[in-house]
Structure 1
Amino acid sequence: MRLQKIDSPMAWKGPDIDYRTEMMHVLSPVEIAEIDAALRRCQDLDIPEITAERFPAPVLGGTLRRVKDALLNGRGASLLRGFPRERYTADEMARIYVGIGAHLGRPLAQSWKGELLGSVINISDIVERTRGYNQAGEMMFHVDGTACDIVSLMCLRGARAGGASRIVSAAALHNHLLETRPDLLEVLYRGFHHRNHEMDALHSPMVPLQTDHRLPFVSQRDGRITCSASGCIRYAVEQGGIAFSAAEVEALEEWQRLARSPEFHLDMDFEPGDIQFLNNRAILHGRTDYEDAEDVTQRRHLMRLWLHVPEWPAREPDQIYLTPDSCGHWQHTNRRPLMDLPGSYLAELRAMQEVRIRDNSVLAITKSVPKASDWIRPG
């Protein structure tokens, strides 16, 4: 295999980019008026019912076509800003977000539960066994499932401090390793086994629990790079009996070290209402650490979409462990009506948090009450 440099606008380095001028579009009054009108048409629709046709926006639609082209042929990242978050409820924001996303691709279910709209919020102190995006703190660089072509986030509420979206170009990391450590790049091209979440595999006959072959960590065709840097690689080691070689450990650690370096990554600070779109094949994302609120309804809260774009060039077959058909099976089998809307989700979380607080208080009081034996002293 002859390794080649990726020569495209996607191979950028963070310090060379001002995302406010190169990756950001500020919504115009006309575009916001179109969104208002489209929302009225979708006010009572469930998430799967909101399509580009049911969310018409002629001027904004032109902007989104340019965004879509930039995601595939340009920098691979885009941010929409200027949305008047204060005008809308969380559920209205959700419907607007899905309507905008539908102009770029088809929303996919993000887990066996079938949710089309995910909530990225720390609930690890309320719900047992949460996934990474429902925990607090910094996140390492990764891409989401291989069924997803565009991964997107909308900011409902920011953190008290910190919590910037941190992104990096896989092409830039690839090119640097090609120059400095081609031996490690060869390891990444050979790839790794992946292991899915057990419940995801259990609830779809099309999702293997663990791959029987290595998936290339990076691959390229026609000058385009695709990356499969997901946490599923770690699960294969922690739960699937896979052992890394010393070279594999070094390759993965060097990849993350470079991504964390200020020489490569770019931070985007989210404002309420911001919508970020990333090419999930070529742009890795993470986040910085942050300070959050105690009340779960006041915590940093992003909504997430996985979008499939059928007209984009297909991924390499040997790099796929999750397909749009798998996600469709989850949606049609397990999804409940209106389950994705954040209003009812936050209300449920708040009720669960109050139970936790009450139970912990009772436990603390019980532990502080002296036992009968404590009052008996040998005399």
Structure 2
Amino acid sequence: MPTECLTSASEILSHLDDADPRRFWTAAQFSAPEDVVRLSINGIEALQREGPEIKEAVHHALSKGHGFGVISLKTASEYTDEKLAAFSHRLAAMVGDLMTQTEDGQTFFEVTKSESKHDGERRLSMSAGDTSLHTDCSYGDNRPGAISLFCLHPAKRGGSSILVSAYTALRQYVETYPEDLAPLAAHYPYYRSHVQYAGQPTFGIYPFVEIEDAALSVRYKMPYMIRGYREAGLDIPDPLERFLHRFEAIVSSPDNRVDMRLARGDFLVASNSWILHNRTPYQDAPDGPKRLLIRHWIDGPACPLQA
């Protein structure tokens, strides 16, 4: 391990050469807030009337744009948390079919700080500290085509969402390290963390890069790839460790990322195939509500619109 993938390094290079230039974005293209694709909706009741236009714009952003967009509910302060949570479910279901995120079939997940642990470990999404750039469910078969995050309560400080284009990162990697492309076209063990179901091993073996429906599909989370080798009872090969550190340095560069601090009522939707995401550390107010986002997984590699 790693083993050769069905998508070869030459196919990846060819795809990068032919891909839509809008997918190769950097931080410089989003120097002002208005540079981000952002739609406004005035009231929960307006969703039924404005829904078709919003669906079309979101689909365009995911499949033909920069791979992400934000919908802002301007009147969010007028609604209770319960009404906003229900609104978030409607928005996500409008984009595509909602996928289950738990073994009991729940289709949403509350992203907030918690002291609860699984097998002695706390999920990174339930901490307030550093996390790492990743695509969701890189370690599983139920990988969503897109993710959404709806903000109920922002943190007092920090907690910004970070997005990075895998197209940009891969092109920078192949231009910088043209002699070391083999790791791009390989399968790796990914640690399943806290989500392995009954009877599953603690790691799954998947390709780092595939080409699906004429788009890149990247599975990435550096800590889980390293942990996956331990779970498989294997030492990490030196070429893989070198590759991971090189790629992590590229995706972590401030020049390649967009930082967005979501406000109450903001709905961020992003491709999970080629947009890596993360968040900055944060601090909650001691006497106020904790940072709380509602996450949905949405089906489809290109996140097609529902009929």
Match of 1:15 in 2: 28
Sequence identity (%): 23
Please say which of residues 182-191 and 300-309 is displaced more in the overlay. 182-191
SS at match of 1:193: strand
Larger radius of gyration: 1
Gaps in structure 2 of 5+ consecutive residues? 1-7
Offset of 1:222 from its aligned partner? Answer: 6.6
Match of 1:252 in 2: 244
Match of 2:258 in 1: 266
SS at match of 1:200: coil
Please say which of residues 129-138 and 262-271 is displaced more in the overlay. 129-138
**Deviations 1:252-306, CA, capped at 9 Å, x for gaps:** 11111111111211101111111000000010001112222346x7111111000
Offset of 1:131 from its aligned partner? Answer: 1.4
Q: CA RMSD in A?
A: 2.5
Change beyond 3 A, Cα 1:27–1:312: closer
SS at match of 1:141: coil
Q: Is the 8 A contact 1:196 1:235 kept in 2?
A: no
Amino acid at match of 2:203: Q
Amino acid at match of 1:17: F
Superposed counterparts of 1:308-323, under 5 Å: 308-309=299-300
Between the aligned partners of 1:76 and 1:11, the Cα distance in structure 2 is: 10
1:210 maps to which of 192, 203, 206: 203
Amino acid at match of 1:218: V
After TM superposition, the score normalised by the length of structure 1 is 0.68
Offset of 1:141 from its aligned partner? Answer: 0.4
Change beyond 3 A, Cα 1:312–1:89: closer
Q: Is the 8 A contact 1:150 1:277 kept in 2?
A: yes
SS at match of 1:277: strand
Between the aligned partners of 1:11 and 1:90, the Cα distance in structure 2 is: 37
Change beyond 3 A, Cα 1:280–1:222: closer
- Are positions 1:79 and 2:70 aligned together? yes
Match of 2:59 in 1: 68
Match of 1:168 in 2: 164
Change beyond 3 A, Cα 1:220–1:61: same
Superposed counterparts of 1:45-64, under 5 Å: 57-64=48-55
SS at match of 1:302: strand
Gaps in structure 1 of 5+ consecutive residues? 36-56, 314-379
- Are positions 1:97 and 2:97 aligned together? no
Change beyond 3 A, Cα 1:312–1:96: closer
Between the aligned partners of 2:283 and 2:26, the Cα distance in structure 1 is: 27
SS at match of 2:74: coil
Match of 1:138 in 2: 130
Please say which of residues 254-263 and 172-181 is displaced more in the overlay. 254-263
Match of 2:46 in 1: 34
Between the aligned partners of 1:109 and 1:172, the Cα distance in structure 2 is: 30
Amino acid at match of 1:73: K
Amino acid at match of 2:259: D
Change beyond 3 A, Cα 1:93–1:82: closer
Change beyond 3 A, Cα 1:184–1:310: closer
Match of 1:201 in 2: 197
Change beyond 3 A, Cα 1:139–1:305: same
Change beyond 3 A, Cα 1:157–1:187: same
Offset of 1:184 from its aligned partner? Answer: 3.8
Match of 1:24 in 2: 37
Between the aligned partners of 2:210 and 2:264, the Cα distance in structure 1 is: 36
Change beyond 3 A, Cα 1:199–1:16: closer
* Higher relative contact order, structure no. (Cα contacts within 8 Å, ≥ 6 residues apart): 2
Offset of 1:201 from its aligned partner? Answer: 2.4
Between the aligned partners of 1:262 and 1:182, the Cα distance in structure 2 is: 23
- Are positions 1:188 and 2:181 aligned together? no
Between the aligned partners of 1:71 and 1:199, the Cα distance in structure 2 is: 27
Superposed counterparts of 1:359-370, under 5 Å: none
- Are positions 1:289 and 2:285 aligned together? no
Q: Is the 8 A contact 1:32 1:83 kept in 2?
A: no
Change beyond 3 A, Cα 1:165–1:172: same
Alignment size in residue pairs: 285
Higher share of residues assigned helix: 1
Please say which of residues 219-228 and 64-73 is displaced more in the overlay. 219-228
Q: Is the 8 A contact 2:168 2:256 kept in 1?
A: yes
Between the aligned partners of 1:164 and 1:132, the Cα distance in structure 2 is: 15
Match of 1:110 in 2: 101
Offset of 1:245 from its aligned partner? Answer: 0.9
Q: Is the 8 A contact 2:129 2:282 kept in 1?
A: yes
Q: Is the 8 A contact 2:161 2:261 kept in 1?
A: yes
Amino acid at match of 1:133: S
**Deviations 1:81-102, CA, capped at 9 Å, x for gaps:** 2432222221211110111111
Offset of 1:196 from its aligned partner? Answer: 2.2
**Deviations 1:5-42, CA, capped at 9 Å, x for gaps:** 2532112112222473343323243x64424xxxxxxx
Between the aligned partners of 1:269 and 1:11, the Cα distance in structure 2 is: 22
